[in-house]
A and B are shown apart, each in its own frame.
Chain A
């Protein structure tokens, strides 16, 4: 199945070697030099023509990778001009409204980057926009992996790496927009202080150690800087490399289709097709972000003014990816337990715990599903979301919760822009917090079942052709056309697992068997995943033959 291009290059190589060692191509010589020291040829042999399958959703991960690279490149540039210091100075820069105002060196240098360094504003905006795109792309990429079941064995560990990247990425974003020490970001740091203080027993200690004393102190910006530019990106870079190595090592997943099996991967080679497509895509992403940064202002710190703990601007909002945590904190009632000389600030601490739980469920889901299904095999063929209704329902429930909290986090904006009562919005979000995900789950699951029925119908009765035929007795019917073999195979390629069975109540000796509560729970969950209410048995060829034969008689 080799291509012409491949044959040509092969001949070319032979031609060169026949011409003698003396006339070796410079590139070849360099490669030989490197191979003699690093053994790169075995690596190249495995990867140069590595096959990657094609699907538009596979580029979502690329957006993450490229926006991360853009963040690193622009971030290094910004460190050359930024002063991560809370030392106070009087502003004498080119932005007249702030002339003579006392501010931190951090804020002053962020203003200078924006107004006095040529291109500084552009790089700052690219950095910020890329961060926004980065987190968004990670979330959407994660959804793709989740809804297609790409996290199943052998990819659970890579799911964890990706999860950690999302988690760290969000926090690094938070620290990044906190660094300029403007009025908005300072409010975010103040919020963090309150959240830390709410932790029982150790809250005040954590707060004092992190801030180097009472809020705001002089240490938090330089400390955030080190964490933001060194500690977290360093860890993320390691995770990212590991994530990519595993993608190569496992080989990419693919959707079911003719010629595609669990034992192969069908697609185009890394060199040249994906080098050009993926390499080119980096420039597309970078280009679009640069263009957006030219026309759309993000985080105009000069408009907020320097941070002062006794001042605040209205509708203070975090960056969008922290919005759901803002929602948690806003819709929580102000519960507080005061007893024995202590205060348990539940109104802040519960949201903090729920915030953590929302991440924990993401991290553990592959292991949970693996335990319920008891499936120990490798999976390289992706599920269509409709064929895994419970998983799809759970995913949509999580997204619904996320969106409800996002609305809760912007309750003031919804109130002012839509002329609604903030109390009503907050109360709606409180109720939806519990009801919304359940409804979303049920609707999604039924929707998936409907789609499964539609698939079955299509297989058995064929595709609607739009041709209307009138029968001799006057009845009008629409002519259905049989699906081609490729389509029949594609729609039935997924396997349907039977629910796990509990062992019989009595064993072979007639002795009553003890079945633990865990085993019972697992059987119940398995029935939920694979029972008749979650999967429509896919039609067999026999059913198909019967129905088509039946059609013939009419």
Chain B
């Protein structure tokens, strides 16, 4: 007998039986706890045949698991990896036979162990309920007193409270020592300085088509088209390509000059060709959905919508300010070029950003 099996007074019904077959009443006037109901036997508890059947069922699950593991190893050897191997399996669709076979066999080999174990527990292991006592988590008052006395004695023997000089210098030292760790993190990255304020665009820099890598003739930009561009001096093979394109990416549209509502914006374009930063001013996603007839561009990440005919004003969504515009013109050969760098920082807003 373990302690859990002892039945204490508390588990017995609290009050005497009521009269006339009515419910038993507890001391506080509600219904009394009738105590744990008697254990009901399962079929497998009393019928040895049923128990043996359950045993066979459990063993079948475990056997199935073994077979599935053999299947897993076989699949690993038989099927080839790679995207060129695929097979149609209804209703899953086109799958990699290797992934499918490995996953299914692994799934079965694991699931069958679980199913066997749970079936074993539910049919053959005792399902009799036991009662275990709980003990208060709180310590007894004696223990509490003892601990406090021990602590006081320890504190007294250390002289921590009395020798203030030691205490104060120690606290000071402990407070300062983590500073070394803080200092060590300084070289995680450079200071921001003015890095976010500028881009790679400078006056006189040609606009290069993102797809062809060629300079863009103003006459080639059609009304209603959307073209992506980057600075002439930037190449995909550059070491810092990712960092630069994260700020320099540009989109070009051509509107009928009469459609441009914002006159300053029109003046910064060339015959209706306008160049805006492609980087959303919300959190920096590249904007790429253009609605040709309304001249709206939509950021696919959080749906900020800008009206390119009105200085890229925000007309919907969570962005806080318009897309910066790049002032452009053409060089002697008719190629589009920047007449100036961006005059405001591109991309998401930040504390030091001034406008």
A residues 70-86 in Cβ contact with B at 8 Å = none
B126 with A3: CB separation less than 8 A: yes
Residue contact B111 to A291, C-beta cutoff 8 Å: yes
What's the nearest-Cβ distance from chain A to residue B6, in Å?
A: 8
Question: Closest Cβ of chain B: how far from A407's Cβ, in Å?
Answer: 14
| In the complex with contacts A334-B320, A336-B320, A378-B137, A295-B350 CB distance below 8 A | no
Query: Inside 8 A of A282's CB, which chain B residues have their CB?
Result: 114
Chain A residues near B10 (CB, 8 Å)?
A: 261, 263-264
Residues of A within 8 A of B122 (CB): 277
In the complex, B204 has a CB within 8 A of chain A: no
Contacting chain A: which of B90-98, B151-159, B164-172, B219-227? B90-98
Residues of chain B from 11 to 27 with CB closer than 8 A to chain A in the complex: 11, 18, 22-26
Does A234 reach chain B (CB closer than 8 Å)? no
B30 and A540 form a contact (CB under 8 A): yes
Kindly list chain B residues whose C-beta atoms are within 8 Å of the C-beta of A95. Answer: 82-83
The verdict on A294 contacting B107 (CB below 8 Å), with A115-B83, A264-B133, A284-B118 known, is yes
Shortest Cβ gap from B285 to chain A (Å): 5
* Nearest-Cβ distance from residue A349 to partner chain B, whole angstroms: 9
B177-204 to A contact mask, C-beta < 8 Å, 1/0: 0000000010011111001100000000
Would you give the shortest CB distance from B72 to chain A, in whole angstroms?
9
The answer to whether B245 and A295 touch across the interface, beta carbons within 8 angstroms, is no
A356 part of interface (Cβ distance < 8 Å): no
A115 to B109, CA, bound (A): 24
Closest to A380 in B: B134
Q: What residue in chain B is nearest A311 (Cβ atoms)?
A: B286
For A411, what are the chain B residues with a Cβ–Cβ distance below 8 Å?
Answer: 303
The dominant DSSP class at the B interface is: loop
Q: How far is the CA of A207 from the CA of B351 in the complex (A)?
A: 12
Query: CB within 8 Å of B: which of A500-547?
Result: 538, 540-542, 544-545
A249-B288 Cα distance, complex, nearest whole Å: 57
- Comparing A19-27, A130-138, A141-149, A210-218, the segment that makes contact with chain B is A210-218
Choose the segment among A28-36, A325-333, A449-457, A469-477 that binds chain B (4+ C-beta atoms closer than 8 Å): A325-333
Query: CB-nearest residue of chain A relative to B115?
Result: A284
A160 to B99, CA, bound (A): 39
| In contact, B121 and A197 (Cβ under 8 angstroms) | no
Q: Does A551 contact B (CB under 8 A)?
A: no
Whether the Cβ atoms of A51 and B283 lie closer than 8 Å is no
Residue A251 interfacial (CB < 8 Å): yes
The answer to whether A343 and B83 touch (CB under 8 A), given A210-B188, A266-B36, A280-B118, is no
Q: Which residues 242-283 of A have a CB within 8 angstroms of B?
A: 249-251, 258-259, 261-269, 272-274, 276-277, 279-283
- Report Cα–Cα, A251/B3, bound state, in Å: 15
CB–CB B318/A347 < 8 A: yes
User: A330 and B302 in contact (CB under 8 A), knowing A1-B130, A119-B76?
Assistant: yes
Q: Which of B96, B110, B316 has the most CB of A within 10 A?
A: B110
Q: Flag whether B253 is at the interface (Cβ < 8 A).
A: no
Q: Which residue of B lies closest to A279 (CB)?
A: B117
B278 within 8 A of A: yes
The reply to whether the CB of A42 lies closer than 8 angstroms to some CB of chain B is: no
Asked whether B117 lies within 8 Å of A286 as measured between CB atoms, the reply is no
Query: Chain A's nearest CB lies how many Å from the CB of B28?
Result: 9
What's the Cα separation between A422 and B348 when bound, in Å? 23
Nearest Cβ on chain B to A71's Cβ, whole angstroms: 15
The answer, yes or no, to whether B106 is at the interface (CB within 8 Å) is: yes
Q: Which of B138, B348, B355 contacts A345 (CB 8 A)?
A: B348
Is the Cβ of A334 less than 8 Å from the Cβ of B318? yes
- CB contact between A205 and one of B31, B104, B137, B192 (< 8 Å): that residue: B192
Q: How far is the CA of A486 from the CA of B23 in the complex (A)?
A: 10
* Inter-chain contact B11/A261, CB cutoff 8 Å: yes
Bound together, the chains give a CA A264 to CA B26 distance in angstroms of 18
**A288, CB-defined interface residue at 8 Å:** yes
Q: A413-430: which residues lie under 8 A (CB-CB) from chain B?
A: 422-423, 426
Complex Cα spacing A269 to B321, Å: 64
Q: Are A309 and B114 in contact (CB under 8 A)?
A: no
B190 surroundings in chain A (CB, below 8 A): 208, 213
CB atoms of B30 and A492 under 8 A apart: yes
Question: Is B23 in contact with A485, judged by CB distance below 8 angstroms?
Answer: yes
**Could you tell me if B352 and A342 are in contact, using CB atoms closer than 8 angstroms?**
yes
Q: Does B261 contact A (CB under 8 A)?
A: no
Residues of the B chain whose Cβ atoms lie less than 8 Å from the Cβ of A544: 23, 31
- In the complex where A212-B188, A259-B11, A548-B22 touch, is A310 in contact with B246 (Cβ < 8 A)? yes
- In the assembled complex, how far is the CB of residue A347 from the closest CB belonging to chain B, in whole angstroms? 5
- Within 8 Å by CB of B283, from A213, A258, A343, A348, lies A348
Asked whether any CB of chain B lies closer than 8 Å to the CB of A308, the reply is yes
Name the A residues within 8 Å of B349 (CB-CB). 197-198, 336, 343, 345, 348
Contact B286–A258 (Cβ < 8 Å): no
Residues on the B chain within 8 Å of A333, using CB:
318
**Interface presence of A195 (CB below 8 A):** yes
Closest to A70 in B: B110
Question: How far does the Cβ of B95 sit from chain A's closest Cβ, in whole Å?
Answer: 7
> Which B residues touch A92, using CB under 8 A?
none
Q: Which listed residue, B92, B120, B230, B318, touches A332 by the CB 8 Å rule?
A: B318
Q: Decide if A214 touches B243 in the complex (CB within 8 Å).
A: yes
| Residue B317 interfacial (CB < 8 Å) | yes
Answer whether residue B258 sits at the interface, using C-beta atoms and an 8 A cutoff. no
> Which one of A161-169, A312-320, A367-375, A439-447 is at the interface?
A312-320
A302 to B82, CA, bound (A): 12
Q: A464 contacts the other chain (Cβ, under 8 Å)?
A: no
Cα separation A282 to B116 with both chains bound (whole Å): 12
- Closest residue to B98 on the A side, CB-wise? A118
21 A-B residue pairs with Cβ-Cβ distance under 8 Å, sorted by A, are A2-B2, A51-B131, A187-B301, A191-B283, A193-B284, A194-B284, A197-B348, A213-B189, A250-B137, A267-B130, A294-B104, A308-B242, A312-B288, A313-B300, A331-B318, A342-B353, A343-B355, A411-B303, A423-B316, A492-B30, A541-B25
B-binding residues in A (CB < 8 A): 1-5, 49-51, 94-96, 102, 115-122, 125-126, 154, 187, 190-191, 193-195, 197-205, 207-217, 219, 249-251, 258-259, 261-269, 272-274, 276-277, 279-296, 302, 308-316, 326, 329-336, 338, 341-348, 378, 380, 411-412, 422-423, 426, 482, 485-486, 488-489, 492-493, 538, 540-542, 544-545, 548
